[in-house]
Structure 1
Amino acid sequence: MLVLPRESRKLFKDPFGTLHRDMNTVLPELAGRIVYTVGDVVTHNLQKNGITPAIAVVDGQTMRSPCSRMPELSGECIRVKNPPGTITDDLVKALTYAVDHPPVTIMVDGEEDLAVIPLVIAAPPSSVVLYGQPREGIVLRTIDDGAKAAAKELLMQFVRVGT
């Protein structure tokens, strides 16, 4: 399991992509692209606009409280444990599998926030990852070599614990 040290957490506060204030500005950017989502609210709002993500990573929470807008689960559902501040090997395996077998919903017992990083690494070029930036909007990250390099750089901030 990879653990994010407390002193590195500040690196993850800024949006890891382009911040949009609402879904209406995001929708035009999604045409013809494979879309992946991380977070219950962003997944729900995308589905409300008629788009089902190829992969949805959800945990039943929004800002650490139960989510009242639980998205509809689509395709295969994989359940993984992922404690806050970590990226577990099971989460990475589920994301890698899901990229090759969409649609997949990954239901996280714990916290899904950091799934954006391994998802960007696993996702194919020109696809899009969306996630919510609390109290600010929706972050859109188009997958290209720069996105993958930036995600790998962030991943280097983590410390491996256990086997």
Structure 2
Amino acid sequence: MFYLPEEHREQFKEPFGTLFPELEEALPSLEGKTLYAVGDVVTHNLLAAGRPPEIAVIDGYTMRAPCNRTPLFLYRRIRVKNQAGTLTEDLIGALEDAVENPPALITVDGEEDLAVIPLALAAPEGTVILYGQPGEGVVVCTVTPALKEAAKYLLSLFVRV
């Protein structure tokens, strides 16, 4: 398991891509792209917009409150455990498996907030990952070599326990 020490958590508050106040503003740039979503609300909003993601990672909560928008995908389901502030081998393995065999819905017992880091590392270049930025909107990041390098750096801030 990888644990994110308190002294590095501030670095994860900055968007890991382009921040849009509303998903609708980002939709035109998503045409023809493979989409992955991290978060219940982002996943719900993509489905409502008619743009289902190939991979969705949810935990049943939004901003620490239960989310009643759990998507009813007919996708292959993968269930993993992942505590807040960590990345477990189970979650990382599930993300890699989902990337290799989409579509998939990964349901996390615990918290999925940090899943965007290993997902960016596993995703093919050109894939677009969307995740919620609490109280601000949706972050859209296209997987590029530079994004993968940024993800490697952020992962290096974790401590293996």
Range of TM-score over shorter length: over 0.9
The residue type paired with residue 118 of structure 1 is P
Q: 2:63 matched to which residue of 1?
A: 63
Question: Where does 1:119-134 land on structure 2 (aligned, <5 Å)?
Answer: 119-134=119-134
State the Cα distance separating 1:74 from its structure 2 match. 3.5
Q: Equivalents in 2 of 1:29, 1:101: separation in Å?
A: 25
Q: Tell me the SS of whatever aligns to 2:90.
A: helix
Runs of 4+ in structure 1 deviating by more than 4 angstroms, as ranges, are none
Cα deviation per residue 1:50-86 (whole Å; 9 max; x = unaligned)? 1111100000000001002222233100000000000
Q: Tell me the SS of whatever aligns to 2:94.
A: helix
The residue type paired with residue 66 of structure 2 is P
Q: Tell me the SS of whatever aligns to 1:102.
A: coil
TM-score by length of 1: 0.97
State the Cα distance separating 1:143 from its structure 2 match. 0.4
TM-score by length of 2: 0.98
Q: 2:23 matched to which residue of 1?
A: 23
Gaps of 5+ in 1: none
The residue type paired with residue 6 of structure 1 is E
Cα deviation per residue 1:112-153 (whole Å; 9 max; x = unaligned)? 000000000000011100000001000000000000000000
Q: 1:154 matched to which residue of 2?
A: 154
Q: Equivalents in 2 of 1:123, 1:147: separation in Å?
A: 11
Root mean square deviation, CA, Å? 0.7
1:40 aligns with 2:35: no
Gaps of 5+ in 2: none
Number of aligned residues: 161
Q: Tell me the SS of whatever aligns to 2:27.
A: helix
Note if contact 1:44-1:72 (Cα within 8 Å) is conserved in structure 2.
Answer: no
Q: Tell me the SS of whatever aligns to 2:9.
A: helix
Worse-superposed segment, 68-77 or 125-134: 68-77
Note if contact 1:41-1:71 (Cα within 8 Å) is conserved in structure 2.
Answer: no
Percent identity of the aligned residues? 57
The residue type paired with residue 84 of structure 1 is A
